[in-house]
Amino acid sequence: MNILLIHQYFLEKGDGGGSRFNEMTQVWAKEGHQITVLAGMVHYATGKKPEKYKGKHFYKDLGFYKDVDVIRCHVSESYNVNFIGRLWAYFSFVFSSIYAGVFKTKEKYDVIIVTSPPLFVGITAYVLSKIKRVPFVFEIRDLWPESAIDTGVLKNKIIIKFAYWFEKFIYKRAKLINVLTPAFRDKLINDKKVPSEKVIFIPNAADFTLAEDIQKDFDANQFKRDLNLQDKFVITYVGAHGIANHLIQLIDTAERLKDTNVVFQLIGAGMQKEMLISETKKRNIENVIFRDSVPKSEVFKYILASNAGASVLKKVDTFKTIYSNKTFDYMSCKKPILLAIDGVSRLLIEEANCGFYVEPESAIEIEKGIRLMIEKQEDLEQIGENGYLYAKKHFDREVLASNYIHKIKSIL
């Protein structure tokens, strides 16, 4: 198939962050499909534009991967300034990606796949599907606008009303809607009245190939010694440092664990990172280490050299419906999970018996969970193994990517 993927946050090579489609497109290409990606120029976590894009409205990266071409489109760098700036960043991509889709891509595709958030990328998909006369598949990685409303990012009543109207509009016109969790599926079918036959479920996945390749010649204990953490109980968080992640709860917990050898290692970027660093200095908290975003191959080394992985989010109802990306990375690396996310994520680790659930935004409860992990250190290897085996059975990237294509072919 010839696939046009619209993904504002498709990662650069070497970028840290959610890499669902970076990995998915490579699987599709190996299966013989051709993929063109319309992507933004600004990283979702940092809000910054690499130097090579400065002064450009479009940048063609042909052969980004084998049989995967990427066309970078202009996005305003106002993304992390304030709400108006973020809104303009969304719509600047809508305008530039429509232009690129019309004038800088091939004339004919078999299908358009668009992944949200932001919800407004659906405008690009709808317009291009009309122009190119092909169906589009709309993917929901996060319920929007609900998540933006719950976290306080979206407050303007007019924009909220428009977002709900557009959500209904785009769901009606999509040929298929892919959801990443069972809770999303239930929400669409039961609450938003989307026909069940239109909704498919291809969740996030674990990248076993990368994890296994790294471990072939990787000495995790030596890596931990190189970081001078050999005598520490290391809990690693990988991901964005934004409002939704609410990492201040880990800072609060670290302050309560000064009597232990627990160290939190926070890897990533985001609009709250400077605040978090400042807070640890102000409170003289020395058991928190901040690291910049690194490529996924490097991220896995940090995870493999840790005692546990942390998945945390702000305590809002919308986040009870999501699976955290990073949870699957920890599972593929056979690490037990410290989970401060209720709902379907909690059900996942309880069914897999691969971690410890703690009440989100409660430093007291998170502290209790970590102290329990320390007490059960002799069991952690088996708990990590449980997660690996469960993910291998249900969340293998290559299997799910192939299933995705199979579902799409059924509508063509």
Give burial (CB, 10 Å; 0-12/13-18/19+) of 226. exposed
User: Model confidence over 215-239: pLDDT tens digits?
Assistant: 888 999 999 999 999 999 999 999 9
% of the chain with per-residue pLDDT over 70: 97
Q: Which CATH number characterizes residue 323's domain?
A: 3.40.50.2000
pLDDT at 99: 97
231 token code pair: 């005598």
Q: How many domains does the chain have?
A: 2
CA atoms within 13 A on the CB side of 392: 13
- Which of 120, 88, 112, 151 has its CA nearest to residue 408? 112
Assess whether 221 and 176 both reside in one domain. Answer: no
Assess whether 105 and 128 both reside in one domain. Answer: yes
Assess whether 178 and 302 both reside in one domain. Answer: no
pLDDT at 208: 84
Decide if pLDDT at 81 tops 70.
no
Assess whether 227 and 351 both reside in one domain. Answer: yes
User: What's CA 275's distance to the chain center, in Å?
Assistant: 22
Assess whether 81 and 215 both reside in one domain. Answer: no
pTM here is: 0.86
Assess whether 193 and 261 both reside in one domain. Answer: no
Assess whether 146 and 219 both reside in one domain. Answer: no
Average pLDDT over residues 31-60: 88
Assess whether 172 and 274 both reside in one domain. Answer: no
User: Model confidence over 342-382: pLDDT tens digits?
Assistant: 999 999 999 999 999 999 999 999 999 999 999 999 999 99
b/e burial code for range 229-267 (CB count within 10 A of at least 16 → b)? beebbbbbbbbbbbebbbbbbbbbbbbbbeeeebbbbbb
Decide if pLDDT at 45 tops 70.
no
- pLDDT band for position 147 (cuts 50, 70, 90): confident
Place of tokens 């995967």: 68
CA atoms within 13 A on the CB side of 160: 11
Assess whether 247 and 140 both reside in one domain. Answer: no
Residue 226's domain comprises 208-394
Assess whether 183 and 241 both reside in one domain. Answer: no
**Amino acid (one-letter) located at 331:** M
For residues 208 and 396, the answer to whether their CB atoms sit within 8 Å is yes
Q: How many angstroms separate the CA atoms of 315 and 248, rounded?
A: 12
Assess whether 48 and 165 both reside in one domain. Answer: yes
b/e burial code for range 127-164 (CB count within 10 A of at least 16 → b)? bbbeebebbbbbbbbbbbbbbbbbbebbeeeeeeeebe
Q: How many angstroms separate the CA atoms of 222 and 229, rounded?
A: 10
Assess whether 83 and 192 both reside in one domain. Answer: yes
pLDDT at 408: 96
Average pLDDT over residues 268-274: 92
